[in-house]
Structure 1
Amino acid sequence: MKFIALISWTDQGVKAAKESPQRLDKARDMAHGLGIKIEQAFLTLGDMDMVCIVDAPSDEAYAKFQLKLAAGGSVRTRSIKAFAEADYRGIMAAL
């Protein structure tokens, strides 16, 4: 299952922005422990500070990951569940 994580730094996260790469490494390790892979991470300009493409085995595993990530206090996330093109085409064909 693919998810797009829209990430905003909290005040705490902004104050320690220089440590963001290390926090990403820790998030990758935490994700790995839950069977999740952060496939891509982007620093972004605009409303969000970062965007990540994440692969998770289930909605439940992804929810657990996002809650653990938020508990660290440096980020807040919004998530979008994404369907691969083949799945999208199958959904549309079934209409």
Structure 2
Amino acid sequence: MPTYVALLSWTDQGVRNYKDTVERAETFGSAVQNLGARLLSIHWTVGPYDLVAVVEAPDEETATAALLHLDGVGNVRSTTLRAFDREEMGRIIAKATG
């Protein structure tokens, strides 16, 4: 299943509600699962992003729906990246080199 890395930044609302961040992460994990995806991991970070989430989804539409749901709550804004594992990258290289 394709993997997506979401770089998350707290909004003003998210910062005000920082005490609930662990519970919000659990709620997000359940919501993602209800959409047919899976929250593989979530990490709180120091630097330009406040959290990093790794989500597995069957397709881009499902991944986008999951992140739109998360952003719609209003506590974070996301930047999402499609990630490739070793096997996928091997196939990409094989295609590129003919």
TM range (shorter): over 0.9
Note the C-alpha offset of 1:2: 0.3
CA distance in structure 1 between the partners assigned to 2:72 and 2:88 by the alignment: 33
Runs of 4 or more above 2 Å deviation: none
The normalised TM-score by structure 1 is 0.97
Note the C-alpha offset of 1:79: 0.4
CA distance in structure 1 between the partners assigned to 2:71 and 2:5 by the alignment: 15
Name the counterpart of 2:84: 83
Note the C-alpha offset of 1:7: 0.4
Note the C-alpha offset of 1:94: 1.7
Name the counterpart of 2:44: 43
Any idea what SS the aligned residue of 2:64 has? helix
Percentage of identical aligned residues = 32
Count of residues paired in the alignment: 95
**How well do the aligned residues superpose, as a CA RMSD in angstroms?**
0.7
Matching residue's letter, 1:30: A
Matching residue's letter, 2:60: D
Name the counterpart of 1:22: 23
